[in-house]
Chain A
Amino acid sequence: MSENQNTPAEPEQESGPASKPAAKVSAKGAPPVSRERQRQGRRKVLRTILLTGGVLGAGLSGYLPLVYARTNRLRPPGALDEKEFLSSCIKCGQCVQVCPVNAIKLADLIDGFGVGVPYIDAREQACDFSCDAVQCILACPTGSLTYEKPEFLPVREGAALPQKPTLIAKMNDPEPTLNMTERMGVARLTRPESCLAMKGEGFKGQARGPDFKGTMRYIAVDRWKPIPVADHPYDLELCDLCMRECPIAGAISLEKFTGPDGKTRARPIVHENCVGCGVCEMICPTEPASITIIAREVWQS
């Protein structure tokens, strides 16, 4: 209140150069400063501190998701380890643009420092290597996605692939392998109790229902163009979708066994060739998926 009452009187102080009761001459002989000017100066400093706090607070709030939730995102092929990935990604989305199946998405605010950084939601749309050549790595301008890690970055134990993965779609090409040295994750039968093969059941119809938007390349249909999974129904006596659609040679197999009821059943086995692309997770017809990708997981023998 007192501040408001004072305000009308102050302009007079400023206009009359002769009347300067509160004038202060600094030691260096700078021109005297009126009380109003001083007050304005103080307010300006306070405001500046406010803006500083706001911007820095917003900036550092990026730590929160890392400290609390630690969402373990599946990153595109060739991604550096999480910490280095977040530091090197320039958040331009060129990887998003080159992906033929739109598997790569950019993270939002809830990812903190990971905002604008690419990830793959394998259940919605997995990376099925329709591009034949890991285009996202080629597109990356900063080396966040890379064919070959720089020397100073260590390769985690079990993250390295035993050999370059062979792409089944390219089996007959002169160069059938993908230029990948590390896995994105590892597929795991996380819910064996719901797995159709484990129950000895078959599958008929669209793998993910008629409304599923995901697309995939079926070599038998079109070598070059991915089609919606919903447009490719199945009729299987014993479900083997994860093995059937796995794009990598020798990554997953089914081990047949006889169940207690005497029916033939099968157990999906993931092998060391698995790159963690997520096609098995996308195609798995159970809800939720019986086989899932553990992002960043390494191969432990």
Chain B
Amino acid sequence: MSKLLTRRYIDQIKVMFGKEPAKPKEISPAAQTIHFYKKNNRTEIEQLKHIRAHETHKSHKWRNRRWATLIFANLLFVLSYYLDIQVLEGSLTASRFIGFHMADLNSALQVMLAHKHIITNLLIGTATVLLLWALLGGRTFCSWVCPYHLVAEFAEKIHLWLAKKKLVTDQPMDRRLRTVFWIVFAVLAVVTGYTVFEAISPTGILSRALIYGVGLSMLWVVALLIFEIFFSRRAWCRYACPIGLTYGVVGIISPVRIKYKLEGCFHEGDCRKVCLVPHVLDTVIKGRAVEPEVALGPDCTRCGLCVDVCPTGSLSFDVKGLSKLL
């Protein structure tokens, strides 16, 4: 990895914790050439843009794959219990996959902090899941498994529809809030001795509701969704959820990421419009890419919406090392 990419990557970690992405101070000569070339071919690009605008480019390949995976994973929990097939027992907070212990990283962390005693099974479960998501991309958990992500996606569709009708406007918040929440809930767990966050975690509540039946705690999930529809787009996932940050940290070392290729990009920003975490896509803004190829930061949920929406194929899934090998 070049020095510039390393610097950018470290900056992206800061961005995950809440820093606003900034213009890069230095851009590699190779990327500069492309930026320059684009500047001088504005009319040609405008023409291409115009032609492109009349084409309907609609692919839902990654979204469909992701939804299928998400539904399958959650269905496996439900069916394991109802049909007693014992493939994936438990719920998303902790489970056993054909006998192997798995524990959600954030839930396990909360329990460890609150209880201050770690038994072997919990350690095994946590390590297994840590390894799994380190390989698969960290926040991949959010978009590919978390049931709240799916319902929030539907709520987002309603929000965007209402916003188009000018009935609601998105009220963005300070992204540093999520880091604050992460710290506050960790401290609360240590100080109170209760897993405070687990009581309001919509991921846990929804997962249990699916498997063991709906209860009153669903009211909290509904309240969050209403807040997201009428007030702030995807507020929970963007500004609040400590689970996302925990998995984001795991994503720092993950080889699975979205890769951006500067050359073909029209800088129209469609990807940023569909993205849950647009700050990871700051590199697609005209003049921002530091190298001809840039990997997105760890806060990216690897949901693939940008890959689907990109008309030029400038964004793609990439496995570090593997692509070179093939």
Name A's B-contacting residues (CB within 8 A): 43-45, 47-48, 51-52, 54-56, 58-60, 62, 83-84, 86-94, 96-98, 106, 108-110, 112-113, 115-116, 139, 141-143, 146, 150, 152-153
Contacts and interface: CB of A to CB of B under 8 A. Distances in A.
29 contacts: A44-B171, A44-B174, A45-B174, A48-B173, A59-B200, A60-B188, A62-B200, A86-B195, A87-B193, A91-B204, A92-B91, A92-B93, A92-B95, A93-B212, A94-B89, A97-B90, A106-B215, A109-B216, A110-B216, A113-B194, A116-B217, A139-B89, A141-B94, A141-B122, A142-B103, A142-B111, A143-B121, A146-B119, A153-B117
A260 B190 CA distance: 60
Interface of A is mostly: helix
B273 interface: no
B274 to A, nearest CB: 22
Contacts of A113: 194-196, 199
Interface residues of B, number: 55
Interface of B: 80-81, 89-91, 93-96, 101, 103-104, 107-108, 111, 114-115, 117, 119, 121-122, 125, 171-174, 177, 180-181, 184-185, 188, 193-200, 204-205, 208, 211-212, 215-217, 219-220, 227, 232, 235, 239-240
B90 A55 contact: no
Contact of B198 (A54, A91, A98): A91
Nearest to B189: A87
Given A48-B177, A90-B93, A146-B119, 19 more contacts: A44-B172, A48-B173, A59-B188, A59-B199, A60-B196, A87-B115, A89-B111, A89-B195, A90-B107, A91-B208, A92-B91, A92-B94, A106-B215, A108-B215, A108-B217, A141-B94, A143-B121, A150-B117, A152-B117
A59 B208 contact: no
Given A60-B196, A97-B89, A52 B188 contact: no
B237 to A, nearest CB: 12
A51 B239 CA distance: 9
A94 B212 contact: no
Contacts of A141: 90, 94, 96, 101, 103, 121-122, 125
Contacts of A56: 184
A58 B220 contact: yes
A58 B220 CA distance: 8
B117 A106 contact: no
B289 to A, nearest CB: 22
A143 B94 CA distance: 12
Given A93-B211, A116-B208, A143-B119, A55 B181 contact: yes
Contact of A62 (B103, B119, B193, B196): B196
Nearest to B124: A141
A132 to B, nearest CB: 18
Contacts of A88: 111, 114-115, 117
Contacts of B180: 52
B314 to A, nearest CB: 29
7 A-B pairs with least C-beta separation: A92-B94, A108-B215, A143-B119, A87-B114, A88-B115, A109-B216, A92-B90
A96 B84 CA distance: 12
Given A44-B173, A59-B185, A83-B193, A115 B217 contact: yes
A87 B216 contact: no
A94 B81 CA distance: 9
A48 B115 CA distance: 31
Contacts of B114: 87-88
A93 B194 contact: no
Contact of A112 (B121, B188, B199, B240): B199
Nearest to A143: B119
Contact of A115 (B107, B184, B199, B232): B199
A93 B174 contact: no
Contacts of B239: 48, 51
Contacts of B215: 106, 108-109
Nearest to A83: B193
A141 B127 CA distance: 13
A179 B122 CA distance: 21
B91 A55 contact: no
A93 B121 CA distance: 15
Contacts of B177: 48, 51-52
B186 to A, nearest CB: 12
Contacts of A110: 216
A89 B215 CA distance: 19
A191 B215 CA distance: 33
Nearest to B180: A52
Contacts of A94: 89-90, 94-96
A89 B5 CA distance: 42
A210 to B, nearest CB: 25
A157 B314 CA distance: 68
Contacts of B184: 56
A139 B81 CA distance: 14
Contacts of B185: 59
B219 A90 contact: no
A115 B217 CA distance: 8
Contacts of A87: 111, 114-115, 193-195
Interface centre among A56, A92, A146, by most chain B C-beta atoms within 10 angstroms, is A92
B87 to A, nearest CB: 12
Contacts of A54: 227
Contacts of A92: 90-91, 93-95
A42 to B, nearest CB: 12
A116 B197 CA distance: 12
